[in-house]
Amino acid sequence: MVHKRTNGILPLLLALLFLSSLSVVMAQDSAPAPASPLIQALNETKLDLNVRYRYELVDDEGFARDANASTLRTAAGFTTGKFHDFFTRMQVQDVREIGLDDFNDGTDRNPARAQFPSVTDPEETDLLEAYLGYTGLENTTMKLGRQIITYREAPNHRFIGTVLWRQNWQNHDAFTLVNTSLPNTILSYAYSWNVNRIFTEEAVNRVRANFDSNSHFMNLEYKGFKYGVLEAYGYLLDFDNSPTTSTTTFGARFSGSTATAAATNAKILYALENARQDDYADNPASIDEHYFLGEIGASFAPGHGVDSLTVKFDYELLSGDGTASFNTPLATLHSYQGWADRFLTTPVNGLQDIYVTGSAVFMGINLSLIYHDLSSDNRDYDYGTEIDVQATKALNKNFTVGLKYADYDADTNTLNTGATALDVSKFWAWLQFAY
């Protein structure tokens, strides 16, 4: 199948559409008059700005030298009001190196950086969003153009996400439709013809190139149950330039919480999810893998300066048979299997992750502590353990600061080979402004 990439055309057309709209406004008579629908739509335009500076240190056993990265992410955009049920959204994203650049940015554009561990924040200026939206059909929103696609609250993007931890975010050139006609139900569909990945279009390593896509996403969310939310989904990934990544995934998830006695101010938390993955389109492999998640936990507000306290126990399985494994190439993978990012690709022997999460809000500081015990699905051996710690604090409504640390301790058994057999620790410090 021949699939032409058109990711640069729609943003340009939308930009021209917006500029032509501005020219119409500027040509209006300056005398006071009732606002036309176009002027009203432009007057209702909302601006947004997000700036994040981050320092990252990586100590990887596989490299003689540490990585030190100092980067600045700036994202500025606007969303217009509606004009005859149409609206436009645009956002530009820019990533710059600030001082320290002793790291491999993942693009292989500078071979000298191969001596450093990876910090996948390459310099880039690009359109993050540029789409035309339409709400003229009852209970329906449609978007055409470059856009962000997710189906769960950040950062829990298990299958489709933005990779929002990295400075360059993932987006799609796509058509999306969301309908809420049925009670308590959100129906979503997307067709993606290009996936703009975090490595940029200029990545020399073509394995990390944007996905030339012919993919369909379907998601249903039902909130009519008293004790939780039911989600069903089907993701048909067809990548012309990465056929071994082409799969179908169908699954369902139920998650929610139940209040205990009012006097304790506590809730029981739970989630259960199962999915199956098969090869699709031109994938030469034979894939028949599955995914499972079970979660139980509790949250309460103990007081005495502790606004909330949550403890969760999880078991997550991504199966593998020694040849193929369950993978989620469009996910925000940093959120799963440890922040040290040793498992961005599921090993062929699969992955079992037993983890405990403790989080609290103490005197306005958000604290998290996670312990992972990671092992294979096939052949039953250990990969290692990981401890993750994070602290963030909102200084005011615009500024947030954060510190974060991840330490992966690899098991030394003879079956554990490759990157999962190497220790790694990472440290981050950041300051973020959002408007």
Q: Where are the alpha helices (DSSP H) in 247-339?
A: none
pLDDT at 262: 62
pLDDT at 3: 39
What are the residues facing 293 on neighbouring strands? 273, 316
Is residue 17's pLDDT more than 80?
A: no
pLDDT at 303: 82
Q: Running DSSP on this structure, what letter comes out for residue 169?
A: P
Q: How far apart are CA 365 and CA 307, in angstroms?
A: 10
Q: Give the three-class secondary structure for 162.
A: coil
**For residue range 198-224, what is the model confidence (pLDDT) as tens digits?**
998 888 877 788 999 999 999 999 999
Rg of the chain in Å (alpha carbons) = 23
Q: How far apart are CA 376 and CA 313, in angstroms?
A: 19
**Tokens 């991504």 sit at which residue?**
318
Query: How would residue 2 be classed by pLDDT, with cut points 50, 70 and 90?
Result: very low
Q: Do residues 393 and 400 lie in contact, with contact meaning Cβ atoms separated by under 8 Å?
A: yes
Is residue 361's pLDDT more than 90?
A: yes
Is residue 11's pLDDT more than 60?
A: no
Note the residue count of the chain.
Answer: 435
Is residue 46's pLDDT more than 50?
A: yes
pLDDT at 5: 38
What are the residues facing 132 on neighbouring strands? 88, 144
Q: Where are the alpha helices (DSSP H) in 37-103?
A: 37-43
Query: How would residue 41 be classed by pLDDT, with cut points 50, 70 and 90?
Result: confident
For the chain, how many helices (H) and strands (E)? 2, 18
pLDDT at 290: 98
Task: Specify the DSSP element, H or E, that contains 187.
Answer: strand 185-196
**Average pLDDT along the chain:** 92
Query: How would residue 96 be classed by pLDDT, with cut points 50, 70 and 90?
Result: very high
Is residue 152's pLDDT more than 50?
A: yes
CA proximity to 252, closest of 271, 237, 274: 274
Q: How far apart are CA 170 and CA 176, in angstroms?
A: 16
- Phi/psi at 333 (5° precision): -70, -20
**Tokens 């139980």 sit at which residue?**
296
**For residue range 233-292, what is the model confidence (pLDDT) as tens digits?**
999 999 999 999 999 999 999 999 998 866 568 999 999 999 999 999 999 999 999 999
Q: How far apart are CA 56 and CA 66, in angstroms?
A: 10
Is residue 225's pLDDT more than 50?
A: yes
pLDDT at 412: 97
Is residue 21's pLDDT more than 70?
A: no
Q: Running DSSP on this structure, what letter comes out for residue 113?
A: G
Count of other CB atoms within 10 angstroms of residue 319: 21
Among left, alpha and beta (phi > 0; psi -120 to 50; other), residue 9 is: alpha
CA proximity to 18, closest of 93, 75, 91: 91
pLDDT at 305: 82
- Residue with the larger pLDDT of the pair 213 and 18: 213
Report the largest interatomic distance among the alpha carbons of the chain, rounded to a whole angstrom: 81
How many C-alpha atoms does 213 have within 13 Å on its Cβ side? 27
Q: What percentage of the chain has pLDDT greater than the value 70?
A: 91
Q: Running DSSP on this structure, what letter comes out for residue 297?
A: E
Question: Whole-structure pTM over 0.75, yes or no?
Answer: yes
What are the residues facing 133 on neighbouring strands? 87, 143
Q: How far apart are CA 16 and CA 29, in angstroms?
A: 23
**For residue range 302-340, what is the model confidence (pLDDT) as tens digits?**
888 899 999 999 999 999 999 999 999 999 999 999 999
pLDDT at 263: 57
Structure tokens at 119: 């910090």
Query: How would residue 172 be classed by pLDDT, with cut points 50, 70 and 90?
Result: very high
Q: How far apart are the first and last CA of the chain?
A: 44
pLDDT at 42: 86
Question: Average pLDDT for residues 411-429, to the nearest whole number?
Answer: 98
Task: Specify the DSSP element, H or E, that contains 76.
Answer: strand 67-79
- Domain 9-434: which CATH class? mainly beta
**For residue range 371-409, what is the model confidence (pLDDT) as tens digits?**
999 999 999 999 999 999 999 999 999 999 999 999 999
